[in-house]
Amino acid sequence: MHTFLGFIVALGPLIFVHELGHFIFAKLFGVRVLKFSLGFGPKVFGKRFGETEYVLSAIPLGGYVKMFGENPDEQDVDPAERAVSFAHKSVGQRFGIVFAGPLFNFLFTLLVFFFMFLIAGVPEIKDTTRIGQVIEGSPAASAGLQDNDVILEINGALTEKWLDVLEGVRDSNGEVVAMVVLRDNEEMSFSVTPQLEDVKNIFGEVEGQRYRVGIAPAEGFNYVSTGPVGAMKNAAMQTWAYVDMTVMGLVKLIQGVIPMSELGGPILIAKIAGQQMEAGLINLMYFMGLLSVNLGILNLLPIPVLDGGHLMFLTIESIRRKPMEERAQIIAQQIGIALLGTLMILVFYNDIF
């Protein structure tokens, strides 16, 4: 139940915000919007207000805004209606309407983090020497260290923060380290021999080597109020960090650093959304922010059918001073549909197996 509810709560607003961007800019530039749909497939609910039909469809994996005159075969319209036709707007206006969807996804992430940081405060990691995890089979585990032990000394030097622990192990050069820890209000001494291990980034690439004993700090955060300016600054930093991570992830995928088997689809999203919902509202907000950035960037890829494909066509049109031939656009869109279909099959396969 949490999985399904988490999927709807996490993905639904992101789809709505994306399509709302297209809708608002279409209205701003005077384009007639025929339909605003959340979801694809059979109509579950629909209501017409003015010239637009608002629809809730059965398959909640996306949405669309249907505009008058947006298809290549609809460009020959009655002269009296050219003022409300998408095809008869300037290249800049059409570019703005298409780009608005991904843009609203980035703005949504920024606003989510702004209000979260404004209300709850900006999280800062609690600096502690308490061990949160002892990795099985590590030197620390062999020496007898346990979760929740508090490291007091390393080789006679007091440890007041986790950086002291890291430096004490690093500077050992592989020689035996004498640790004093506090366990159940009793001081205990241990001898641990660090091992030289590869240091990997989040994409699994080796960036160097460092002496380690196989322990991780206990997780914990203090939430610090920074006011509206501080909240916006930190929200912008967090949003940019997600953008950078997503773009680098795509680059590593193309380079083959990340295998295609790591790609996930709707089933994986639903599973993670359910887990984050159970973990708490803040966890869910972070996941929604990451998902919204992913949705924005993926839609900007220059693949026909996606927003990025339309932006590519408009860029070519602005350079050539005339639209691409209708047949070329149709062929490109067919290729785009084939690519997306193949990708969907792949991610569903990964999700299931």
Distance CA 135, CA 150 (A): 16
pLDDT number for residue 106: 96
pLDDT number for residue 88: 84
Q: At a CB cut-off of 8 Å and minimum separation 6, what does 64 contact?
A: 19, 35, 37, 40
SS3 readout for the chain: CHHHHHHHHHHHHHHHHHHHHHHHHHHHCCCCEEEEEEEEEEEEEEEEECCEEEEEEEEEEEEEEEECCCCHHHCCCCHHHHHHCHHHCCHHHHHHHHHHHHHHHHHHHHHHHHHHHHHHCEEEECCCCEEEEECCCCHHHHHCCCCCCEEEEECCEECCCHHHHHHHHHCCCCCCEEEEEEECCEEEEEEECCEEEEEECCCCCEEEEEEECCEEECCCEEEECCHHHHHHHHHHHHHHHHHHHHHHHHHHHHHCCCCHHHCCCHHHHHHHHHHHHHHCHHHHHHHHHHHHHHHHHHHCCCCCCCHHHHHHHHHHHHHHCCCCCHHHHHHHHHHHHHHHHHHHHHHHHHHHC
Strand partners, 222: 124
| Inter-residue contact 31 to 67 (CB < 8 Å) | yes
Q: Which fold has domain 127-219?
A: Pdz3 Domain (2.30.42)
Residues in the chain: 353
| Inter-residue contact 62 to 15 (CB < 8 Å) | yes
pLDDT number for residue 76: 64
Going through 130-243 in order, the beta strands assigned E by DSSP cover: 131-134, 150-154, 157-158, 177-183, 186-192, 195-200, 206-212, 215-217, 221-224
pLDDT number for residue 333: 75
Active site positions, annotated: 19
Distance CA 22, CA 76 (A): 23
pLDDT number for residue 219: 78
* Backbone dihedral angles phi then psi of residue 26, each to the nearest 5 degrees: -65, -45
Task: Split the chain (353 residues) into runs of 10 and give each run's mean pLDDT.
Answer: 67 89 94 89 85 86 85 65 85 94 96 93 82 89 90 90 88 88 91 86 78 86 87 94 90 77 70 76 87 91 86 88 76 76 74 73
- What is the domain partition of the chain in residue ranges? 2-122+231-352, 127-219
pLDDT number for residue 75: 57
pLDDT number for residue 81: 76
